[in-house]
């Protein structure tokens, strides 16, 4: 199942998440720090969504109170909610 999430408070303007059950099969960020977002996306692919959420939730970028990884955790939560 594919979910398109609009992040808030970060440079990325869109996060696409695909799940197979509760396993992350694909993540793609639009905009943001390209190398960092690609790295995060590749690291979480194959992980259980809940495990990724626990690792990424609360990461802060430059005092913004959020970050691209934190926004990915929110996108994953939304994807899990839609799947249930």
Name the nearest CA neighbour of 2 among 20, 13, 84: 20
Write the CA distances from 10 to 18, 20, 47, integer angstroms: 21, 27, 23
Domains of the chain: 2-83 (3.30.390)
Average pLDDT, whole number, for the chain?
96
For the cut 90, the answer to whether the pLDDT of residue 84 exceeds it is no
Q: Whole-structure pTM over 0.85, yes or no?
A: yes
Residue in the structure block whose two tokens are 């802060």: 60
Name the nearest CA neighbour of 68 among 45, 20, 34: 34
Average pLDDT over residues 68-73: 98
Q: 58 CB contacts (<8 Å, ≥6 apart)?
A: 70
For residues 21 and 38, is the Cβ–Cβ distance under 8 A? no
Q: For residue range 21-62, list pLDDT tens digits in order.
A: 999 999 999 999 999 999 999 999 999 999 999 999 999 999
- Residue 72: pLDDT band (50, 70, 90) is very high
- pLDDT value of residue 16: 98
């Amino acid at each position: 199942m594919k979910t398109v999430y609009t992040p808030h408070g970060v440079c990325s303007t869109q996060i696409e998440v695909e799940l197979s059950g509760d396993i992350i099969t694909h993540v793609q960020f639009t905009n943001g720090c390209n190398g960092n977002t690609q790295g995060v996306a590749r690291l979480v692919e194959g992980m259980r969504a809940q495990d990724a959420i626990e690792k990424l939730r609360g990461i802060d970028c430059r005092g913004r109170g959020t970050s691209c990884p934190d926004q990915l955790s929110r996108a994953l939560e939304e994807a899990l909610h839609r799947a249930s």
